[in-house]
Structure 1
């Protein structure tokens, strides 16, 4: 088994990285088992950067993995990857596949990979411990939940205990911690469900037994007229517009998540204590309260990730936020790039990252790897997946060109060449990442001039080539939460430009309302700008509506308003001014090119001074992040918050 430095030693001794010592395959294989070295694989932070460590703890190890390193599914044979089409036996498949992965710079088998000992590549199995123990969506607070989880953990891990290549376990896949669905599900359960009883007590205590206080935040369902009625099966509470019921819902989410993480951590430490507990592979999004609740119950936090833009940009808020929420190394358990130009007939039928050509795919994927490696809390990057999905789609209909190889086992040479070069750079990039800091906010914030015309309506952020130089990293959120997105700004003579990448899961059926979704409950950015003609107030709202293509789903419609002194809204034209990119919740991506005339000036010029105040607010006003002054109690902006000073820079 190679560490990331074994094949790429020339990059491992630069700068201040003397601890990265090459380890040979022969040395590691001489160990009879992981148990021969105390603790097996581990984690360590060196000069500010997190690493996994080899058995024994002395050698840092950055996990560069590939998912589904297996022989494929014979049921897809003829239109999907299957080992018998290329190899005489599984031993030949294992040898050739491992050799390829080493050559491309990979050093780990990720989720859903064959655990065969014919391969020496380290392995992280995904074991579905919570699902098989019937924890989430069943009754995690049942008195026997821990005993059941521990027994199931012993059963599931038994086949892996003598395999020294196992780093640790992914406990589940994409649990999600969807806040409102958890609340609605358990509230609607029968009283015999222990988790329902926990929730009822939380509701009762939150409102101190005063039903009138509850009615400020919620609209009860039919037949629910008091707390005793909430004990019944099928009980319902819907958010009341203007209320703050989402606060209670998030508290319950944290309680459920904390119970899950405690149960699976204790179960795995009892069943296989030398292996790392590596989390539940968060689904391209994280709930901040759930992450906070995981503290102390994970060795590594795993998250899947959908790269934000085709050029491989990775929004910093995501991983900077995780670093502040939990002092735990992060492993990217899935990332991917697909291309419409492919040899497997994949149609890329969804929102997951895909581009037009294989050349674009290779460039974007390699850029993403380098961007990931530059975050100090990331200790591993796993590519999804080894081979393309079947040409007709897999069982759930997903049909993506995600493979390093096509369904006929031929490598995508441009992709694997680009990834090999990027993987070679990872150790040095990561060793240098420990010094990454957010610079202090300057007294006057320079706003960069747009390098290319900002085109609103193209469903793209390709017109922002300088994403790092346009980011405003100084937003604040009341502790213990962190900013839930990034805001970027630039200027052109004709417009002040902004884009926002963020995450915000919202159950849009939860709100009690008639007609169009209320702007007060929408995802919203309040933008106040004084460009020399007095302070102008704007609200950028993302209002959900039934999807134009897919029945039963929602899409977000952009709404731009001028805000009067009394808070009333006057609609403004959005065509060519504001767009929301076609990304389903919980992903937020909006772009604005606010015309100079709306700021009361004919045009914007270099050196011009501005006063700015920006607030981004999640659905149902659950969280607010603010640039201009610290947010007040509950995330609300402080009354009279002072704007920040900005200047339109020449470059």
Structure 2
């Protein structure tokens, strides 16, 4: 099936040569950039119609004069901007890149296509002010006209990122708008949603929420300062997600209509989601985006990209995806960057090159990913940029010298990306077999190394049949292997949670934790286990939480019996919304002395997010139309490979 959008404007004929990166053009033509889906694969299209896979770089600009003594600045290396532009574009083409990403110089001395980030929502005061005000669209159009003025006559502009890292963090939006004064239209909108959700019955609200002192009725909630906290055991998170969807939908509607009004020939390319997506917000964006953009923090140092993330977006939205940032940094670098945070970094430039090039190939293999943009052109200044971030993210160092090892690996991957992408329909999930083979561990699995390096065959160990009620999609992946001493699992997922939103005292309630539950019968009777992730203030990152694992045996009567987690469970050091859990279920806990090849198992696996917001399950395959068997266990066998 082919689905295409065309946007008209003139010029840019010189860029047609880029079409060779992606093979023959689709049928039809147009005079502007667009998108097309052919045989299930999404592409961007150049003026005139040829398709292309966008390999971009962020911050293709001359740097900051204020940090020229400790950072990259073009006048340190070039006589003028024209010389900088010519050399930089020549380099990028040689390295297999074909697009300028966010925060790049719009100079017409370069012919590379580009996507400006214009902060439309922030400048139009849509996020934390009053997007439901009657004049919100009028104000957004006026601001869009102002912000697009520098770009409207530039034929290299593909479209616009409307903002950067709009996360749709559900609880902060709910708390902010509910706490506003009644004069705010957003406050009234949220209050009406609360009232309607509970049909005006205060006792129903109290089953889900604990109101602030002095707020004892729906009328009280109309006052400024109103606050509702989740009640443990309640289902208030469902209402919060409805409010999030309403706010996100209003944002996407306003920025889409505004950009169509002032620059209808350009693509609306989203708000660069921040390494995470809220499913209800993505669903609310349908019909208001031409391209969905998301940043991505690669999951492991070997460049593995968890398939659930992009497979999920393919189901939630009917647009191509542009990866607006990905990156790899190394402690071994020439700019003195210390890599002071949780973003992907490794020890050496050789490891950086291996991981980054592998990630490009993984990204290109998703049919819905039509663009991959690297962050960024040059390293951050020695000592860090203005907000303190200090990472070796550059293709070149602060002295303008390319990282040759990195680029020697990335350039071939960049050039191969279009062919990999064209072949991506072959990457399909097979039906769940009647008996699922569990692979033998390729290496001893360490539960104390803080890494997943002992899982070299991540594709082979993945169990890709997790299910969740529509319209939502699985929010993570589960991998499993075995060795004589037990079953090994690792779990990558995403779950944002405002951990101050819950009304509780003492330790965080187990019922509200993120949980991975495993039921297994290895021939010695059914055993049930739960790995629960308790949040605590993070030791390294102020204002964030870290997750501390607790491992339990679930008794027949539902009681939880604590199992010593030492050497059995580890949570990788990634702050929320990232979940990275590795664990082992020892053979003795399964009632056996050891596991053996050919041994049959009965298994059921489920994961539940904080506050029981969503649960995804891997159970028996469905038998017949409409029949749901996820609550039944599935059969597995320990494969001798």
User: Which TM-score band (shorter chain)?
Assistant: over 0.9
* 1:230-249 map, 5 Å: 230-249=221-240
The aligned residue for residue 217 of structure 1 is 208
Of the structure 1 ranges 622-631 and 594-603, higher mean CA displacement relative to structure 2 is found in: 622-631
The aligned residue for residue 25 of structure 2 is 19
C-alpha distance in structure 2 between counterparts of 1:265 and 1:237, whole Å: 32
In the alignment, is the contact (CA less than 8 A) between 2:619 and 2:629 conserved in 1? no
Deviations 1:523-553 (A, max 9, x none): 0011101011101010110000122344443
Task: Give the secondary-structure state (helix, strand or coil) at the position aligned to 1:590.
Answer: strand
Quick one: which of 458, 463, 466 aligns to 1:467?
A: 458
Deviations 1:504-523 (A, max 9, x none): 00000000011111111000
The aligned residue for residue 38 of structure 2 is 46
RMSD: 1.7
Quick one: which of 241, 244, 267 aligns to 1:253?
A: 244
C-alpha distance 20-415 of structure 1, shift in aligned 2 (>3 A): farther
The aligned residue for residue 6 of structure 2 is none
Relative to the length of structure 1, the TM-score reads 0.94
The aligned residue for residue 47 of structure 2 is 55
The question of 1:116 aligning with 2:107 is answered yes
C-alpha distance 551-86 of structure 1, shift in aligned 2 (>3 A): closer
* 1:558-637 map, 5 Å: 558-628=549-619
In the alignment, is the contact (CA less than 8 A) between 1:48 and 1:435 conserved in 2? no
Aligned length: 624
The question of 1:547 aligning with 2:553 is answered no
The aligned residue for residue 649 of structure 1 is 639
Quick one: which of 156, 167, 179 aligns to 2:170?
A: 179
* 1:164-175 map, 5 Å: 164-175=155-166
Quick one: which of 370, 376, 380 aligns to 2:371?
A: 380
C-alpha distance in structure 2 between counterparts of 1:92 and 1:2, whole Å: 23
The aligned residue for residue 335 of structure 1 is 326
C-alpha distance in structure 1 between counterparts of 2:493 and 2:13, whole Å: 37
Query: How far does residue 95 in structure 1 lie from its aligned partner after superposition?
Result: 0.4
Task: Give the secondary-structure state (helix, strand or coil) at the position aligned to 1:227.
Answer: coil
Unaligned stretches of 5+ residues in structure 1: 22-36, 632-637
C-alpha distance in structure 2 between counterparts of 1:220 and 1:622, whole Å: 20
Relative to the length of structure 2, the TM-score reads 0.95
C-alpha distance 538-3 of structure 1, shift in aligned 2 (>3 A): farther
C-alpha distance in structure 1 between counterparts of 2:239 and 2:280, whole Å: 11
C-alpha distance 2-581 of structure 1, shift in aligned 2 (>3 A): farther
Task: Give the secondary-structure state (helix, strand or coil) at the position aligned to 2:214.
Answer: coil
Query: How far does residue 47 in structure 1 lie from its aligned partner after superposition?
Result: 1.4
C-alpha distance in structure 1 between counterparts of 2:384 and 2:65, whole Å: 14
Task: Give the secondary-structure state (helix, strand or coil) at the position aligned to 2:219.
Answer: helix
* 1:225-624 map, 5 Å: 225-624=216-615
The aligned residue for residue 150 of structure 2 is 159
Query: How far does residue 243 in structure 1 lie from its aligned partner after superposition?
Result: 0.3
Deviations 1:20-75 (A, max 9, x none): 79xxxxxxxxxxxxxxx85610000111100000113x200111000000000011
Quick one: which of 186, 189, 203 aligns to 1:198?
A: 189
Of the structure 1 ranges 115-124 and 154-163, higher mean CA displacement relative to structure 2 is found in: 154-163
The question of 1:137 aligning with 2:118 is answered no
The aligned residue for residue 634 of structure 1 is none
Query: How far does residue 284 in structure 1 lie from its aligned partner after superposition?
Result: 0.2
C-alpha distance in structure 1 between counterparts of 2:72 and 2:426, whole Å: 43
Query: How far does residue 6 in structure 1 lie from its aligned partner after superposition?
Result: 4.5
In the alignment, is the contact (CA less than 8 A) between 1:7 and 1:105 conserved in 2? no
Task: Give the secondary-structure state (helix, strand or coil) at the position aligned to 2:313.
Answer: helix
Task: Give the secondary-structure state (helix, strand or coil) at the position aligned to 1:616.
Answer: strand
Task: Give the secondary-structure state (helix, strand or coil) at the position aligned to 1:160.
Answer: coil
Misfit runs of 4+, over 6 Å: 1-5
C-alpha distance in structure 2 between counterparts of 1:330 and 1:193, whole Å: 34
Deviations 1:467-487 (A, max 9, x none): 000000101100000000000
Task: Give the secondary-structure state (helix, strand or coil) at the position aligned to 2:149.
Answer: helix
C-alpha distance in structure 2 between counterparts of 1:367 and 1:303, whole Å: 19
Deviations 1:220-260 (A, max 9, x none): 11111011111111111000000000000000000000000
C-alpha distance in structure 1 between counterparts of 2:32 and 2:17, whole Å: 19
